[in-house]
Structure 1
Amino acid sequence: MESCGRIQSGAHVARAEGELVYHALGTGEYDELTLAETLRFIGTAFHDVLRKTPSEAVLLDNYTRVCIILSEIINEGILEITDRATLLRALKIKGFD
């Protein structure tokens, strides 16, 4: 389930997935559609890399991996990777199988 809204001059998207709720805020080129696609990709990336359905316990147990995944997808506030194959290749370079 996704929910979109506007906050001042920006956009807010929340995505519920299992027991987790992901939130994203953006302005300018990062509109509701871009944020929603980004949250979908992040949820898929967690599932693919961690090889488990994301839950609070899974994310906390794999905190280092979660941080590296997010760092590869969003670098210094800029959306960089939105392709599964590119993400998996970048993570493999960093030593993730």
Structure 2
Amino acid sequence: MLMAVLISNSVGNILVERFNGVPSEERLHWRSFLVKLGADNLQRASNEELFVASHKSVHIVYTVLGDVCIYIVGKDAYDELALAEVMFVITSLIKDACKKSPTERLFLDKYGKICLCLDEIFWKGIVENTNKERIKRLTRLKPPGEF
């Protein structure tokens, strides 16, 4: 199960969060844990350099992309390799939506498009689509006959 996808700015403010199967009382713990993990490791990281961690029998993959930090938490079948594949799709779609490596302002300008892309990648904790071109077609918001 894909438990969480969080995107924050460089100072730790959450821009987007999606939790699946995480009780509401544990979400604050996960937010603070992931932001602290990123603060400790992502300061010196280069763009799209992947980091891996484990916590409470779950896998965490995280990276920095421009001014935003992306965290993915998974368990069971979603190990580091599966999460790295999802991370690759998310980072490439964010870069495509923003037309470059995003600043916080550019990310927020493209917020709706990015949320649509995230919805096409996973739903209720299950990865549904990692084909970048298909996700782009599905998020164009045009009737199927106009492809």
1:62 pairs with 110, 122, 127, which one? 110
Q: Deviations over 1:7-35 (max 9, x none)?
A: 11110111122222110000011101111
| Bigger relative contact order, structure 1 or 2 (CA pairs below 8 A, ≥6 apart) | 2
**Which of these two proteins has the greater Rg computed from alpha carbons?**
2
- Larger mean CA deviation between 44-53 and 19-28 belongs to 44-53
- State the one-letter code of the partner of 2:74: G
Query: Is the contact made by 1:15 and 1:36 (CA closer than 8 Å) also made in structure 2?
Result: no
> Number of aligned pairs?
94
TM-score of the two chains, using structure 1 as the length reference: 0.86
Note the aligned Cα RMSD (angstroms): 1.4
Aligned to 1:86: 134
Q: Which runs of 5+ in 1 are unaligned?
A: none
Where do 4+ consecutive residues of structure 1 move more than 6 Å? Answer: none
How many percent identity over aligned positions? Answer: 30
Query: For residues 55 and 38 of structure 1, what CA distance do their matches in structure 2 show?
Result: 21
Instruction: Say whether residues 1:24 and 2:76 are aligned partners.
Output: no
Q: Which runs of 5+ in 2 are unaligned?
A: 1-48, 143-147
TM-score of the two chains, using structure 2 as the length reference: 0.59
